[in-house]
């Protein structure tokens, strides 16, 4: 999100859509905390039960913040050509130690400290770290950074595939809730050829019915903002796999594609702990 404080405050998405009226509390905080002529880049976050929860952004009574990580203009001066370290100093001076609606994103310049920070805060829903060059100017519409995601390893049941059973392109995964229902938790990223072949040798069509619909909305499969339905090929839900999942979870489902690690032939679906979904 870009926040402008000119004659009046404007909040704008990266698609240049106005968000000012949708988040009046954030617009008010920008007007109160930042001086006129300021343009900052940041991300809207919401807290629920002590964790970051993007689904709570549309709830007025949630704790919502604009976490800023860059400045494009400082009191009317265009600073995009300055190196990141200089813009960071400006941003810290602009935001200060305020803990209201506008917060300064934490930053470190030492790898070990960054890893410790990510590990300690993963349970809060922090998705990972963004790595930027200290000497880099601000380049709009260019990806000049990389993201290191916080992940953990878990197991899931293969309930369906995208593509043919014999050589699947991706897996659609589920976990049983406490009522014994197999709930969709997301999909894998595209499988490599060897993994697809190994899985294809073990996957079989379902016997009788299947707990999932024939077409699944893309938003339920780690495709945020997707409006297209995903057609899948159901399989017999007996195969357990090990996956890497990041900390971005909404309604018990991964917001991003998970990474397939390996088959777990030593485990049955009943061996997995029931998820918290109801």
Mean pLDDT, residues 37-65 taken together:
83
| Domain closes at, from 149, 181, 211 | 149
Mean pLDDT, residues 49-74 taken together:
84
- Which comes out higher in pLDDT, residue 41 or 217? 41
| Residue 43 burial (10 A CB sphere; 0-12, 13-18, 19+) | middle
Instruction: Give how many domains the chain has, as a whole number.
Output: 2
Q: Does the pLDDT at position 122 exceed 50? A: yes
Cα 31 → chain centroid: 28
Residue 276 is assigned to a structural domain of this protein: no
Strand partners, 67: 43, 103
Are 39 and 53 in a shared domain? yes
Q: Residue 192 — φ and ψ, nearest 5°?
A: -75, 165
- Which comes out higher in pLDDT, residue 75 or 253? 75
Are 163 and 119 in a shared domain? no
d(CA 177, CA 182): 7
Instruction: Give the predicted TM-score (pTM) of the model.
Output: 0.66
Residue 199 is assigned to a structural domain of this protein: yes
In 3D, which of 163, 183, 173 has the Cα closest to residue 241? 173
Residue 101 is assigned to a structural domain of this protein: yes
Strand partners, 1: none
Question: CA 22 → CA 47, 113, 222, distances in Å?
Answer: 17, 36, 25
d(CA 45, CA 49): 13
In the prediction, which pLDDT does 223 show? Answer: 55
Mean pLDDT, residues 264-270 taken together:
90
- Domain extent, residue 168, equals 151-271
CATH code, 252:
2.40.50.140
What is the number of alpha carbons within 13 Å of residue 235 lying toward its C-beta?
A: 27
Mean pLDDT, residues 187-202 taken together:
94
- Which comes out higher in pLDDT, residue 244 or 83? 83
């Amino acid at each position: 999100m870009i926040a402008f404080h000119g004659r009046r405050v404007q909040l704008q998405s990266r698609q240049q859509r106005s968000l000012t009226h949708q988040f009046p509390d954030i617009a008010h905080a920008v007007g109160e905390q930042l001086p006129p002529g300021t343009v900052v880049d940041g991300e809207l976050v919401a807290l629920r039960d002590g964790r970051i929860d993007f689904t709570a952004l549309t709830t007025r009574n949630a704790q919502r913040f604009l976490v800023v990580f860059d400045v494009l203009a400082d009191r009317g001066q265009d600073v995009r050509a300055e190196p990141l370290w200089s813009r960071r100093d400006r941003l810290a001076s602009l935001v200060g130690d305020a803990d209201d609606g506008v917060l300064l994103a934490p930053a470190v310049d030492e790898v070990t400290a960054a890893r410790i920070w990510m590990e300690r805060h993963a349970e809060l829903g922090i998705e990972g770290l963004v790595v930027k060059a200290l000497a880099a100017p601000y380049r709009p519409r260019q990806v000049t950074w990389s993201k290191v995601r916080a992940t953990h390893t878990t197991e899931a049941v293969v309930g369906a595939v995208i593509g043919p059973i014999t050589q699947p392109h991706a897996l659609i995964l589920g976990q049983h809730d406490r009522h014994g229902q197999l709930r969709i938790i997301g999909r894998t990223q595209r499988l490599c050829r060897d993994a697809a072949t190994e899985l294809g040798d073990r996957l079989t069509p379902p016997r009788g019915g299947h707990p999932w619909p024939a077409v699944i909305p893309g938003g339920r499969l780690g495709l945020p903002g997707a409006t297209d339905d995903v057609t899948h090929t159901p399989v017999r839900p007996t195969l357990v796999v090990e996956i890497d999942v990041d900390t971005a979870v909404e309604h018990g489902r991964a917001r991003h594609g998970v990474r397939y690690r390996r088959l777990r032939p030593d485990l049955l679906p009943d061996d997995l702990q029931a998820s918290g979904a109801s």
